[in-house]
Structure 1
Amino acid sequence: MNQDRLTSTDADAVTDAAAQWCMRLHTEDFSDAEREAFAQWLAANAQHAEEYQAMLEIWQTADLLPRSPATTRQAPTGRVRRRAWRPAASAAMISVLALPLAAWIGWELGWLPNRYQHFDSSDQVRAVQLADGSNVELNLHSEVRFLNFKDRRRVDLVKGEAFFDVSHDSQHPFIVHAGRGQIRVTGTQFNVWKYQDQVKVTLVEGSVLVSSDGSDGGYRLGPGMQASYRTGDFEPQLAQSDDYANSLAWRSGRMVLDNLSLSQALPVINRYLDKPLMLADNNVGSIRISGIYDTRDVRQLVDNLPKVLPIYLTRSNDGSTVLNRILPSPHKR
């Protein structure tokens, strides 16, 4: 533990931090991760605990905080010296008290959300409901964030794949950010798949407006249409798909590869692997593959590829599996 005394500038920073922790500890959404971070902050320097206790007394004396169980659990151990109100503490308190006003102004101007949610999934499909009533299904190893603003609803697809059944609200568009583009709706059903910088949007019901990296205004999809884009695309590629249900097969634990080249199939397969498959060259990438596979056992598909395709597997230096094409034997004369 660092017991060195702090400079005046550092002491003011500690006072500010103590005020911020005092406020966060008394909110309902104070997380276990934040609790651990707070404990580490307390242990970093004896003056942290001292300043926090002084700030806690100020808040409670002014009836600014309830004497909640969270405060009792996180109260610093050991004897803490009582200190009088200092100018730095006063300034920090004024700053903290101004936060609700700043948050309200930020909300009114559309800068800050009033609700934030974070969801992820690991080895199974997960269904969640957003604060606006919209329902989302997350594919394996997927992650989304939801922010509710005064004039819009925003979702960030951090990674993976999600199916959205959006609660209709024409006054508050629902905007999904995926890669370097976005999907804008008011109420509909659609699927968004993201792998590295590639994104594919599949519309099931209603309509959506898809914008890629450089597109201006976006392109509207109808039911059964798909839009694909990646970083740097000026506009998304649009397609009408009669078998778009293949893109939704993951909801029942299936991955459908319908006569795809390996170049097309690998981004779909790699979504379910710890280390991605790699192509030795463009020649092997042209080989086509079909089949229906279990999304929870894609590794078995990889192991069986040499049994169904003219390829053999090798390992790269980083441990990734490389697909190599078996060349036909030359004709004997």
Structure 2
Amino acid sequence: MSGPILTVDISQWRTGGEAASALCAAVDKSLQQAGFLLVTGHGIDPELPASLRAAAREFFALPTEVKEKYAVAVGGRGWIGPGMEANGYAEGTETPPDLKETYNCGAQTPVGDPDVDALWFPPDVWPAEVPRLHELFVEYCRQMQALSDDLLDLMAASLGLTGESNPFLGLTDRATWTSNINHYPAITETGPVEDGQYRIGPHTDFGTVTVLDREPGAGGLQVYSTQGGWADAPYDPTALTINIGDLLEYWTGGRWPAGRHRVLPPQVDAPDEDLVSLIFFYEANHDAVVTPLEKPIGTESGRSPVISGDFILERLDAITVAPTP
């Protein structure tokens, strides 16, 4: 595929041999160029995301007063309504609120410390009106977590760090993660778009890897690369879109820049376009000490270690829209 974002078949890496070595080289190249990959051969049953997306649409179609029973603040578990996030703030850009609503769930591996568990492992909330959403979402996240662990192993191998040299070894056994189902309403529902407003403003994700199952659209995903600036992300219905976040950029000593991206606002020439994206944000254990890789793997040396949870919290706070007085 032309362009900075390459497609790799992860089943070839799982098999090993010469094909795996070539695939690792492609992973390294694509992540250096754009912080993004398309991954095929992942083994996820396509019926699972299709069923989850259908259940989510049932929930998002409920009246607002019903959805408000499950409303939470950014970082919570449940429904995050319109106007709650402005992802452009993470880059220091003041933008209008993002044109989306979200239902999310998260890691359920409490450590026994009430303060830690309340912050990183709060209980999920499930809508009684759409009971099948619970089972489908939990199973989807189980498969996404397994794939994310594979992706981190693949990325370590792409740096030539295998076995005991794998920098992620032992640091994701109680990983924090969140999975969002994002609903991007049509312009017939949102009304006119404000200047500088997006479905999701320009930003990078915060953690290690993000796994995205998306629907293509006129107001869809765009990726920034130094090679071509902003461009529509390539789409393959059999592939998952993978990008790396700020934590992994830091971990690799800047070798792999976090994938900068945005979701365009609804377009006037596609007035009925209504999209639903499934997004799995993976991190590391909340107390994992992340020690950046030095040269020659990293592009710079001397970065200080950071604690994963502190690193993520700082970024979550940045995108939360302050309530109007």
TM-score normalised according to structure 2 size: 0.20
Higher percent of residues as strand: 1
Structure with max Cα Rg:
1
TM-score normalised according to structure 1 size: 0.20
